Amino acid sequence: MKNLVPRVFVVDDDQSVRTSLANLLAAEDYAVEIFASASEYLACVPYLGPACLVLDVQLPGLDGLALQRQLTKQGRMEKIVFITGHGDIRMGIGAIKRGAVDFLPKPFSDDELFSAVAQALARSAEDWRQRGEVVESRARLAKLTPRELAVFRLVIAGLLNKEIGAELCVTLRTVKTTSCPGDAEDGCDFRGRAGEGSAEGGRRACAPYACLRYHRRGAHNIVDSDRNLDSNRCRSYVSRA
Partner 1 sequence: MDTGLELVARRKDGTEFPVGIGSSHIESPEGTLVLSLIVDISARKEAEAQTRQHREELAHLSRVAIMGEIAGSLAHELNQPLTGIVNNASAGRRFIAKGRADLPKLDSLFEAVVTDGRRAGEIIRGIRGMVRKGEQVRGPVNLNDVIARVLGFVHSDALGHHCALITETDPKLPLVEADQVQLQQVFLNLVVNALEAMGETPTPERRMIIRSECEPQGRVRVSVRDFGIGLPLEGPQQIFGQFFSTKREGMGMGLAIARSIITLHGGELAATNAQGGGACVCFSLPTIAEGQEGQRESRQSEEGREA
Sheet holding 7-11, edge to edge: 31-35, 7-11, 51-56, 79-84, 102-105
Indicate the residue among 10 and 141 with the shorter CB distance to partner 1: 10
CB of 15 to partner 1, least distance (A): 9
Q: How far apart are CA 20 and CA 9, in angstroms?
A: 13
Residue 81 vs 210, nearer CB to partner 1: 81
Residues that bind partner 1 (CB under 8 A): 13-14, 16-17, 19-21, 23-24, 26-28, 58-61, 63, 83, 85-86, 106-110
H-run or E-run covering 84: strand 79-84
Would you say 39 or 58 has its CB closer to partner 1? Answer: 58
Tell me how far, at minimum, the Cβ of 88 lies from partner 1, in Å: 10
The answer to whether 57 touches 63, Cβ cutoff 8 Å, is: yes
Of 21 and 71, the one with the shorter C-beta distance to partner 1 is 21
CB of residue 103 vs partner 1: minimum separation in angstroms?
A: 15
User: In this structure, what is the dihedral angle of CA atoms 225, 229, 230, 235, given to the nearest 10 degrees?
Assistant: -160
Task: Give 63 or 186: the residue with its C-beta nearer to partner 1.
Answer: 63
Rounded to the nearest whole angstrom, what is the least distance from the CB of residue 25 to partner 1 in the complex? 8
Q: What is the smallest separation between the CB atom of 38 and partner 1, expressed in angstroms?
A: 12
Do 182 and 204 touch, CB atoms closer than 8 A? no
Compute φ and ψ for 23, nearest 5 degrees. -60, -45
